[in-house]
Structure 1
């Protein structure tokens, strides 16, 4: 019988048409739980949780530099992008532009930088194509500006300066003085009527920028970490094992949130993966281990090597014996291993090299 390990519900109240990855596909996860372990309704709700985890938590930073891209794609064309944010030149910190990071490279989005005294610049990135075509495309979109935009406030802007940018179907407005918002529409009409860029000179992105991003460390990060560890516990021990009521407090918190009594970041000196430091784990791999301390079942998870290690308290009343279990996601090579399989393969390789 199909029973959701998170909602503990069955058909027909729940459907089981999709499968849950152990590690999210967006950070390179491959292995899925068997169909019938996680309901489609729950899986669908987890998508929003994972999106926040990947875009706005600590994980967003290495993901912008290393990848992978959407659904774990390793192609540079599908590489992960950061959220559009404000960037400033290291050499000219007052020169502020809207852009994003992808595979460690900064990209400045097409934008108008406007001074209410009459100065207007169109700024773009060479990688997006020829200047006049970029502006022509931007000019076609500008009349459709409808005040549905993402606002970026920064006190470094002059009182009469603002930026209007467009990327991936979304408008962005950056300024320091909200009073300018009421004047934006008038400036757009003026720009369009005067056709100020038909004979303009391109202004391209500055190099080596400082990027200003906001990272959110809330319960969505910790709940996603707990979900990954719980997924692997279900994968390695089975559905019936994790449906035990001793895991009910954890599963309720993963699904519904609330007070976090289960997860925390570990200090570097308490890193549980240090016990495996002589082992040549795949570079930048994601790793987790589950072990028992006293009567508490605990999971440890890290991302992009041994970084961002988080400890998850799975339950505090586990009286049975439990053999240490672990899992490795080598997303760069599109491979995943149990800890035992990885160590056995490493042993076999070393034995072969000695022969």
Structure 2
């Protein structure tokens, strides 16, 4: 029986569930028979935008980790394509490890007909970038179009940018003040020839260091990912039979199906436990604290030492007082249970001993 899909029998168990998502550098996992592959696949549809588009995406893109928690520079997280600003000019680009990159972009002024082609100053294929851009435009039927809008753009400014995603799909970004720019086949061919003419004139790139002005969003559903992390840790601490208790059906169903959020909220009042007791954490660590008395079980989660999120897991099921925690030092690929971490600090020993793999 899956601790999330309690009433389903058509389930498989081919993978282990991370307590903290792998995309955030989480290491510890629940045993294989705790969480079904079906739930894993379903919740990933919410977890992916949580990692890439929410408030969490900003520190993740700046400090890491990369894809699936990888610390290699080749796996660094690449942010969403957005509209970027340098002084009074605009480009299309993304943020990676805190550094902004611009993608090949054609900027068109519809008022005076002037156009300008630009790409990132670090681009190594400068001799072919114009022709590659033009070739992509000529393959109109294979392009995937995405609209971007920014109300601070001038209505006369239109931007066309091209980027190849991780699946080798060619994405054509169309940016304007209200996101209504449309590119048809004939326009695409004409613009391709225009860019080829620029190449024949040997126009170079514009050297610029853009300032990102994208946006991140926060959907109420993202709180479900915090709920999942807290419930995963509860299952790790108290075991399978405890986790499937009916007292947790309410938050379990909310994590699975969404709906009215009665369980998770930002906590700006109680402060950070570790700061209160003067305990130093690893830089940008993630923490989960679990506390319960004879009435309720509550968890508190902080990611990247940011704002605290409080999770009401449910009634305590007469389990007595529970105090436990998990510290994720993703930069060193180590995780610690709270008591082990505190014990090592009291003994003055560093580095701390990680949890066993």
Q: CA 1:277–1:112 in 2, change beyond 3 Å: closer, same or farther?
A: farther
CA distance in 1, matches of 2:349, 2:239: 32
Task: Kindly provide the CA deviation profile for residues 3-59 of structure 1, in whole angstroms up to 9, marking residues without a partner as x.
Answer: 200011465x11111111000000101111100000010011121111111112111
Residue 333 (structure 1) aligns with: 332
Corresponding position: 1:242 with 2:243:
yes
CA distance in 2, matches of 1:99, 1:65: 15
Residue 354 (structure 2) aligns with: none
CA apart distance, 1:156: 3.6
Instruction: Give the TM-score normalised by the residue count of structure 1.
Output: 0.90
CA apart distance, 1:138: 1.5
Q: Which moved more, 1:72-81 or 1:118-127?
A: 118-127
Q: CA 1:336–1:199 in 2, change beyond 3 Å: closer, same or farther?
A: same
SS in 1 for 2:108: strand
Residue 261 (structure 1) aligns with: 262
CA apart distance, 1:119: 2.3
CA distance in 1, matches of 2:126, 2:214: 27
Residue 199 (structure 1) aligns with: 201
CA apart distance, 1:137: 1.8
Residue 296 (structure 1) aligns with: 296
CA apart distance, 1:314: 0.3
Residue 219 (structure 2) aligns with: 218
Residue 157 (structure 1) aligns with: 153
Corresponding position: 1:29 with 2:31:
no
Q: CA 1:284–1:290 in 2, change beyond 3 Å: closer, same or farther?
A: same
Instruction: Give the TM-score normalised by the residue count of structure 2.
Output: 0.89
Q: Which moved more, 1:141-150 or 1:276-285?
A: 141-150
SS in 1 for 2:345: helix
CA apart distance, 1:254: 0.3
CA distance in 1, matches of 2:180, 2:57: 33
Corresponding position: 1:65 with 2:59:
no
CA distance in 1, matches of 2:262, 2:197: 59
Q: How many residues align?
A: 342
Retained in 1: the 8 A contact 2:134–2:193? Answer: no
Retained in 1: the 8 A contact 2:100–2:211? Answer: no
CA distance in 1, matches of 2:20, 2:217: 20
CA distance in 1, matches of 2:153, 2:58: 26
Task: Kindly provide the CA deviation profile for residues 47-102 of structure 1, in whole angstroms up to 9, marking residues without a partner as x.
Answer: 1111111112111111111000000011122111211111111xx23x11111111
Residue 107 (structure 1) aligns with: 101
Q: CA 1:212–1:159 in 2, change beyond 3 Å: closer, same or farther?
A: same
Residue 8 (structure 1) aligns with: 6
Give 1 or 2: higher helix fraction.
Answer: 1
- The 5-angstrom pairing of residues 312-327 of structure 1 reads 312-316=311-315, 318-327=317-326
Q: Could you say what the CA RMSD is over the residues aligned between the two structures, in angstroms?
A: 2.2
Retained in 2: the 8 A contact 1:272–1:300? Answer: no
CA distance in 2, matches of 1:330, 1:346: 15
Task: Kindly provide the CA deviation profile for residues 92-138 of structure 1, in whole angstroms up to 9, marking residues without a partner as x.
Answer: 23x11111111110000111112344322221113231322222222
CA distance in 2, matches of 1:258, 1:155: 32
SS in 2 for 1:300: strand
CA apart distance, 1:272: 4.2
CA distance in 2, matches of 1:215, 1:176: 18
CA distance in 2, matches of 1:162, 1:187: 13
CA distance in 2, matches of 1:241, 1:350: 34
Retained in 2: the 8 A contact 1:81–1:101? Answer: yes
Q: CA 1:338–1:317 in 2, change beyond 3 Å: closer, same or farther?
A: closer
CA distance in 1, matches of 2:204, 2:263: 53
Retained in 2: the 8 A contact 1:160–1:180? Answer: no
CA distance in 1, matches of 2:282, 2:181: 51
